[in-house]
Structure 1
Amino acid sequence: MSNASPVYWDPFDREIARDPYPIYRRLRAEAPLWYNERHDFWVLSRWDDINSALVDWATYSSSRGPILEVIKANIEIPPGTLLMEDPPIHDIHRRLLARVFTPRRVLSLEPAIREYCVRCLDRLDGVDAFDLMTEFANEVPMRVIGMLLGIPEDDQLTVRERADAKLRTEPGQQMKVSREAIMDTDLFADYIDWRAEHPSDDLMTELLNAEFEDETGTTRTLTREEILTYVTVLAGAGNETTARLIGWLVALLARYPDQRTELLADRQLIPNTIEETLRFEPTGHAIARYVARDVQLYGQTVPEGSAMMLLVASANRDEKRWDDGETYDIRRKIDQHITFGIGTHYCLGAALARLEGRIALEEFLTRFQAWDIDWDNTALSSTSTMRGWETLPLSVG
Structure 2
Amino acid sequence: MTQGETMSTATDVYYDPYDTDIDAEPHAVWRRMRDEAPVYRNDRYDFWALSRHADVDAASRDPRTFSSARGTTLELLSSGGEAPRMMIFIDPPEHSRLRVLFSRAFTPRRISALHEQIREECRTLLDPHVGSAGFDYVADFGAQLPSRVISALLGVSPTDQPRILDVINTMFHIEPGVGMINDTALNAMFELHTYLVDQLAERRAHPRDDMFSALVQAELTEDDGTTRRLDDQEAANFGVLLVSAGTETVARLIGWAGLALADFPDQRELLVADPGLIPNAVEELLRYEAPSPSQGRSLTRDVTLHGVTIPEGSKVLLLTGSAGRDERAFPNPDVLDVRRRIEAHLSFGLGAHYCLGAALARLEGRIALEETLRRFPRWDVDRAGAVRLHTSTVRGYKNLPIAV
Give the secondary structure class of the aligned counterpart of 1:154.
coil
CA contact under 8 A between 1:134 and 1:391: conserved in structure 2? yes
**2:165 — aligned with what?**
160
CA contact under 8 A between 1:7 and 1:23: conserved in structure 2? yes
Separation in 2 of the partners of 1:359 and 1:133?
Answer: 15
Give, as a single letter, the amino acid of the residue that structure 2 aligns with 1:103. P
**CA deviation after TM superposition for structure 1 residue 216, in Å:** 4.8
Give, as a single letter, the amino acid of the residue that structure 2 aligns with 1:119. T
Residue-by-residue CA offset, 1:142-195 (whole Å, 9 max, x unaligned): 001111101111101222221221111146762225887656410112211222
Structural mapping, 1:186-265, within 5 Å: 186-265=194-273
Q: What is the aligned length? A: 392
Pair 1:274-2:282 in alignment: yes
Q: Report sequence identity in percent.
A: 44
**2:5 — aligned with what?**
none
**1:75 — aligned with what?**
81
Give, as a single letter, the amino acid of the residue that structure 1 aligns with 2:124. R
**2:136 — aligned with what?**
131
Instruction: Please say which of residues 275-284 and 300-309 is displaced more in the overlay.
Output: 300-309
Task: Give me the TM-score of the superposition, normalised by structure 1.
Answer: 0.94
Separation in 2 of the partners of 1:41 and 1:181?
Answer: 27
Give the secondary structure class of the aligned counterpart of 2:159.
helix
**1:144 — aligned with what?**
149
**CA deviation after TM superposition for structure 1 residue 310, in Å:** 0.8
CA contact under 8 A between 2:389 and 2:395: conserved in structure 1? yes
Give, as a single letter, the amino acid of the residue that structure 2 aligns with 1:196. R
Separation in 2 of the partners of 1:308 and 1:77?
Answer: 16
Separation in 2 of the partners of 1:337 and 1:104?
Answer: 26
**1:307 — aligned with what?**
315
Separation in 1 of the partners of 2:400 and 2:187?
Answer: 32
Separation in 2 of the partners of 1:156 and 1:305?
Answer: 40
**1:376 — aligned with what?**
384
Cα RMSD (Å): 1.8
Give the secondary structure class of the aligned counterpart of 1:42.
strand
CA contact under 8 A between 1:73 and 1:177: conserved in structure 2? no
Query: Which segments of 5 or more consecutive residues in structure 1 lack a partner in the other structure?
Result: none
**1:22 — aligned with what?**
28
**CA deviation after TM superposition for structure 1 residue 228, in Å:** 1.3
**1:118 — aligned with what?**
123
Instruction: Please say which of residues 36-45 and 195-204 is displaced more in the overlay.
Output: 195-204
CA contact under 8 A between 2:326 and 2:333: conserved in structure 1? yes
Separation in 1 of the partners of 2:21 and 2:361?
Answer: 28
Instruction: Please say which of residues 5-14 and 354-363 is displaced more in the overlay.
Output: 5-14
Pair 1:32-2:38 in alignment: yes
Give the secondary structure class of the aligned counterpart of 1:212.
strand
Give, as a single letter, the amino acid of the residue that structure 2 aligns with 1:27. M
**1:45 — aligned with what?**
51
Give, as a single letter, the amino acid of the residue that structure 2 aligns with 1:323. P
Residue-by-residue CA offset, 1:268-314 (whole Å, 9 max, x unaligned): 01101100000001111111101122222222221122110111111
Give the secondary structure class of the aligned counterpart of 1:185.
helix
Residue-by-residue CA offset, 1:290-340 (whole Å, 9 max, x unaligned): 112222222222112211011111111211111112211001011210000
In structure 2, the CA distance between the partners of 1:173 and 1:349, relative to structure 1 (3 Å rule), is same
Residue-by-residue CA offset, 1:352-373 (whole Å, 9 max, x unaligned): 0000111111111111111111
Pair 1:293-2:298 in alignment: no
Instruction: Please say which of residues 142-151 and 13-22 is displaced more in the overlay.
Output: 13-22
**CA deviation after TM superposition for structure 1 residue 76, in Å:** 2.2
Matching residue within 149, 157, 179 for 1:174: 179
Matching residue within 382, 385, 396 for 1:388: 396
In structure 2, the CA distance between the partners of 1:5 and 1:220, relative to structure 1 (3 Å rule), is closer
Separation in 2 of the partners of 1:15 and 1:173?
Answer: 16
**CA deviation after TM superposition for structure 1 residue 75, in Å:** 2.4
Query: Which segments of 5 or more consecutive residues in structure 2 lack a partner in the other structure?
Result: 1-9
CA contact under 8 A between 1:69 and 1:177: conserved in structure 2? no
Give, as a single letter, the amino acid of the residue that structure 1 aligns with 2:160. D
Give, as a single letter, the amino acid of the residue that structure 1 aligns with 2:151. G
Separation in 2 of the partners of 1:160 and 1:181?
Answer: 11
**1:360 — aligned with what?**
368
CA contact under 8 A between 1:41 and 1:307: conserved in structure 2? yes
Task: Give me the TM-score of the superposition, normalised by structure 2.
Answer: 0.93
CA contact under 8 A between 1:68 and 1:309: conserved in structure 2? yes
CA contact under 8 A between 1:285 and 1:312: conserved in structure 2? yes
Give, as a single letter, the amino acid of the residue that structure 2 aligns with 1:232. V
